[in-house]
Amino acid sequence: MAGKKERSEGELRQAVEQAVERVLAEEMSRLRGDLVEHVLECLPAQGNGASTAATDGAGNLLQGVTTIQSGTTQKEILRALLDTGSAHCARIALFVVKAGAATGWQARGFDGEDVVKDFALDMNSGPIHHAYQNRVAAPANIAEMDQHFVGQFGGPANEQILILPLVLKDKVAALIYADGGATGQLESTSLELLVMATGAWLEVVSLRKQSQQRDSGEAAERMPEPAVTQTVSSFSDPFAAHAPKHVAKVGEPEPAAEVVEVASQAAAASAAAPATAADPFAGLSAEDADTHRKAQRFARLLVDEIKLYNQAKVSEGRRNKDLYDRLKDDIEKSRATYQKRYGNTAAASADYFQKEVVRSLAEDDVSLMGANFRK
């Protein structure tokens, strides 16, 4: 028993990696956010009886994913990635990839958040090239890194670095640099999971805003075909508007301010309007209100995943009024995931998942779910 209680962090990480591989094999078509949820669910189980440090690490990782999913704009989500990622390494920086070039956006743990802004990475250097071309994490020695970068920003004491690709719709939209600085702290698995969760959440947020635009009948009638194509493109590349600082006009917002609202400002404004009109949680404590809001967001994420990968079934189910029968496995699996996280919280009685299924899948018409759907 004593040996089990002292399981090393390396063993814990190995268990997580095994869980990732199992889920990938079984559910390759699922959104990457679903993968993150399964891995995070494995962490407490694998860590039962483990050291206090390992348990705290799992809790910090879960909190980091929650913070990322609290973001409602791309700018908030990317900043959350850097903020939460800095708890798992000494230095971290994000470089936007555009037309095969990577330029700096923001950093944490360096001599300032904007110290890397507009810095151009050498895309031919070993780990950068490997991460970009293969869309996988690239651990390396600082000697393999872009020497211009090392000359300007220095390297970690233990010489170990990590390059991570932020992949959106099978395209590398950004590269993340991380190292252990003077402390040597570099938790590769945790950083990979945070980047994966960020990519998934960015896709969900973009998809939701697209859906809001499509669902607006008046806007849809006026929308010409080229504009639709542009919206889809921005979903794949939220960094499409990124431009180097030296070509920006005086007084122009930082590139990130343009980047993060690509093709979504109108949708975000319309979505925010009813939310500010009346706060449904005004009578609750701050902690309970926060739980309700997080439960709502999580329910929307789960149902958005179902819609994203079952578009044909959703359309057929609406026509035939048997949505539940066609999507039963996905709905019940996601319901179990939701219940596991929020079934014993202040938000349990609200059952936001059930409401989101009816609202999003059935367009607020419960009859479309069919006779077998539990109301």
Instruction: Using alpha carbons, list the distances in angstroms from residue 93 to 82, 127, 146, 319, 349.
Output: 7, 15, 14, 48, 41
What are the residues whose beta carbons fall under 8 Å from the beta carbon of 162, sequence distance 6 or more? 89, 127, 137, 138, 139, 140, 177, 178, 179, 186, 188, 191
Range 202-213 average pLDDT: 78
Three-class secondary structure of residue 168 per DSSP: strand
Give the C-alpha separation, 91 to 127, whole Å: 17
Query: What pLDDT is attached to residue 18?
Result: 64
Range 172-191 average pLDDT: 93
* Structure-token match 């090239």, residue found: 129
Q: Tokens in use for 127?
A: 């780990």
- Phi, then psi, of 219 in degrees rounded to 5: -65, -35
Q: Which amino acid is at 154?
A: G
Q: Other C-beta atoms within 10 Å of 279: how many?
A: 11
- Phi, then psi, of 140 in degrees rounded to 5: -160, 175
Three-class secondary structure of residue 309 per DSSP: helix
For residue 365, which of 302, 307, 305, 323 has the smallest C-alpha distance? 323
Range 63-71 average pLDDT: 86
Give the C-alpha separation, 31 to 266, whole Å: 26
* Structure-token match 């995943």, residue found: 305
Give the C-alpha separation, 355 to 361, whole Å: 10
Radius of gyration of the chain measured on its C-alpha atoms:
22
For residue 64, which of 202, 195, 249, 157 has the smallest C-alpha distance? 195
Range 252-266 average pLDDT: 37
* Structure-token match 């367009």, residue found: 363
- Whole-number percent of the chain with pLDDT over 70: 66
Query: What pLDDT is attached to residue 115?
Result: 93
pLDDT score of 259 more than 70: no
Q: Which residue has the higher pLDDT, 356 or 50?
A: 356
pLDDT score of 94 more than 70: yes
pTM: 0.50
Query: What pLDDT is attached to residue 333?
Result: 92
* Structure-token match 């005086």, residue found: 250
Q: Which amino acid is at 371?
A: A
Query: What pLDDT is attached to residue 208?
Result: 76
Least confident of 38-52, 143-157, 184-198, 339-353: 38-52
pLDDT score of 287 more than 60: yes
Mean per-residue pLDDT of the chain: 76
The class (CATH top level) of 2-206 is alpha beta
pLDDT score of 246 more than 70: no
Q: Which residue has the higher pLDDT, 130 or 45?
A: 130
Domain definitions of the chain by residue range: 2-206, 284-375
The residue count of the chain comes to 375
* Structure-token match 């409602």, residue found: 72
For residue 243, which of 256, 226, 228 has the smallest C-alpha distance? 256
Span 4-50, pLDDT tens digits: 444 566 666 666 666 655 554 454 444 545 555 555 554 444 444 44
